[in-house]
Amino acid sequence: MEFQERSIAEDYEHIVQNRRPLIIDCDTGTDDAIMLIAAAGCGVFDIRAVTSAVGNVSQENTSKNNLDIAEYLGWDVPVARGAYKTMYAGKRTLSTVHGATGLGDVTIPGAKRMQFEEERAPEVIYRIAKEEEGNLELLVTGPMTNIAIALLLYPDLKDLIKRITFMGGAMEGGNVVPHAEFNIWFDPVAANIVFTSGIPLLMIGLDVTERASLIDDDRKKFMSFNTRAGDLAANLLAFMLKREDNGLESAYMHDGLALAACADPLCVTTKKAHIRVEVLNDALSGKTYVELDPKDESKVNAQVAVDLYFHRFRVWLHEAVARIRNDVQVAAKYDLR
């Protein structure tokens, strides 16, 4: 077959024409929000829906954040509300790392035109999984409650999901507690249902996300785009950097890296693994146990990211945010002047 020399524009068009169907389930907090901006711009996915989990803040707040961000970006994506409680019966407190609303000190206009889907997250996930006939992927960047509910409601869903890429867990250590990462810790029961579902998994854990930290130069880069999307990403990052100055969590792009790894596999290197989560021993609940390259191949239930190509990721994120250049059309379309 003669190689067709394609221009960059033709390459990008080819990508857009071959977008992969994806649903994003997130507990929109600050790094989820930057991930959503990049997801809207990257052009790799046909994003069928954004669904909200309880985690960083309440489901009411994560849902509102998802809807407001979508309208603010002029992003016509269905937004559905998820569970307001997790499956875990133990004591868990909402984090304060993302501020009261989840978007730190950043405020954007409340959505006026877009509305939530009538269906709740589990129904949306199942309906679209059937429509996409096994090609649907999920990107999960919060606790896995909605996915687990969907799996318990619909026995055939596990055969309809091509892969779940999730930000969560760690091979070693934790963040919210020494032994566990927040997303898994917040609902270990749900994580266990997903980990044992048989759906192919790509785990993006703290081992790589805590090496995906942005700095003020990245905030300036986002500002340099002179776009609504770039300014929003810059303001969210500014909050995260202020938080870091106060000795709190750094500006880790936990969820942005999960998106990038889902879109561009060369952003990380992975190994086959068996992963499981501690549920019964409350003192360690939420801890993830990762056995890399198990001798017994039949135990493999995930690919786990063991390294990242930070600069590839950083450029990918910048470009994805920069791509939402159609602000004028957006403003005109939604009269967002």
CB of 28 to ligand RIB, least distance (A): 8
When CB distances are held under 5 to 8 angstroms depending on the partner's kind, the choice from Ca ion, ligand RIB, none that residue 274 binds is none
Q: Is 165 in the site for Ca ion (CB under 5 A)?
A: no
The total of other beta-carbon atoms located within 10 Å of residue 19's CB is 13
Q: Which of residues 16-55 bind Ca ion (CB under 5 A)?
A: 27, 32
Which residues, other chains included, contact 7 with Cβ-Cβ below 8 Å and sequence gap of 6+?
none
x/- letters, 239..268, toward ligand RIB (CB under 6 A): ---------------xx-------------
Residue ranges of the alpha helices (H) in 132-187? 145-153, 182-186
Among 52, 62, 141, 235, the residue binding ligand RIB under the rule CB under 6 A is 141
x/- letters, 30..59, toward ligand RIB (CB under 6 A): -xx----------------------xx---
Give CA separation, 162 vs 36, 132, 198, 205, 245, in Å: 21, 10, 11, 20, 41
Candidates 40-48, 101-109, 177-185, 259-267: pick the segment binding ligand RIB (CB under 6 A): 177-185
Cα–Cα distance measured from residue 117 to residue 302, given in angstroms and rounded to the nearest whole number: 32
Q: What is the bridge-based pairing of β-strands 45-52 and 79-80?
A: parallel
Q: Is 88 in the site for ligand RIB (CB under 6 A)?
A: no
Cα–Cα distance measured from residue 143 to residue 301, given in angstroms and rounded to the nearest whole number: 19
The total of other beta-carbon atoms located within 10 Å of residue 202's CB is 20
Comparison of 93 and 226: residue with beta carbon closer to Ca ion: 93
Comparison of 78 and 142: residue with beta carbon closer to ligand RIB: 142
- Record the tokens describing residue 314, joined without a space: 């950083």
When CB distances are held under 5 to 8 angstroms depending on the partner's kind, the choice from ligand RIB, Ca ion, none that residue 278 binds is none
Cα–Cα distance measured from residue 34 to residue 233, given in angstroms and rounded to the nearest whole number: 6
**Catalytic annotation present for 254:** yes
Residue ranges of the alpha helices (H) in the chain? 8-17, 30-42, 59-73, 121-131, 145-153, 182-186, 188-195, 206-209, 216-224, 228-245, 254-263, 310-322, 327-334
Q: Which amino acid is at 72?
A: Y
When CB distances are held under 5 to 8 angstroms depending on the partner's kind, the choice from ligand RIB, Ca ion, none that residue 182 binds is ligand RIB
Among 41, 102, 142, 230, the residue binding ligand RIB under the rule CB under 6 A is 142
Residue ranges of the alpha helices (H) in 81-187? 121-131, 145-153, 182-186
Comparison of 26 and 193: residue with beta carbon closer to Ca ion: 26
User: Which of 14, 98, 179, 254 is the catalytic position?
Assistant: 254
Candidates 25-33, 40-48, 110-118, 149-157: pick the segment binding ligand RIB (CB under 6 A): 25-33
Comparison of 108 and 336: residue with beta carbon closer to ligand RIB: 108
Q: Is 27 in the site for ligand RIB (CB under 6 A)?
A: yes
CB of 32 to Ca ion, least distance (A): 4
- Record the tokens describing residue 267, joined without a space: 């952003």
When CB distances are held under 5 to 8 angstroms depending on the partner's kind, the choice from ligand RIB, Ca ion, none that residue 181 binds is ligand RIB
**Phi and psi, residue 240, nearest 5°:** -65, -35
Which residues of the chain form contacts with ligand RIB (CB under 6 A)? 27, 29, 31-32, 55-56, 141-142, 167, 175, 181-183, 254-255
The residues binding Ca ion (CB under 5 A) are: 27, 32, 141-142, 255
Q: Give catalytic residues, as residue numbers.
A: 254
